[in-house]
């Protein structure tokens, strides 16, 4: 699969709630970085198991539905790098509506996601899931 196809398949699997299918596209030694300012799961996660355990599982527990709905706005591809813009929408367990704009940079080699850098508004995350 070409890098863009890999990323689109990953997004489709996340939208379907199929975490095993999504993780099958992630290399065992992949890294996933999120802004350290996030109140949960911020920083660098090394390895597919850590990505699931320390990022995907705890973040998934924040959403009433277990996952956000991702509206893909566009992709830009340069060789192995796929830049994606999307909007994530969800409801928190506390009933707060969540809508955040994301830019996610994927690095894909040999049909597998090797690295991800995810950018979003950390204040929106704080307000929806960790209100004071």
Domain that holds residue 125: 3-129
Whether pLDDT at 131 is above 90? no
The total of structural domains in the chain comes to 1
Per-residue pLDDT reduced to its tens digit, 31-83: 999 999 888 899 999 999 999 999 999 988 888 877 889 999 999 999 999 99
| CATH number assigned to the domain comprising residue 124 | 3.10.450.50
**Burial letters for 8-24: b for 16+ Cβ neighbours within 10 Å, e otherwise?**
bbbbebbbeeebeebbe
């Amino acid at each position: 699969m070409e890098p863009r196809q890999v990323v689109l398949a990953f997004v489709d699997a996340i939208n379907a709630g199929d975490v095993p299918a999504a993780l099958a596209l992630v290399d065992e030694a992949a890294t996933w970085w999120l802004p350290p300012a996030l109140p949960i799961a911020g920083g660098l996660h090394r390895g597919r198991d850590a990505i699931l355990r320390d990022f995907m599982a705890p973040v998934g527990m924040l959403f009433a539905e277990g996952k956000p709905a991702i509206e893909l706005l566009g992709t830009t591809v340069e060789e192995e790098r796929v830049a994606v813009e999307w909007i994530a929408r969800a409801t928190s367990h506390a009933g707060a509506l969540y809508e955040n704009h994301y830019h996610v940079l994927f690095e894909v080699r040999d049909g597998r996601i090797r690295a991800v850098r995810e950018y979003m508004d950390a204040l929106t995350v704080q307000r929806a899931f960790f209100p004071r």
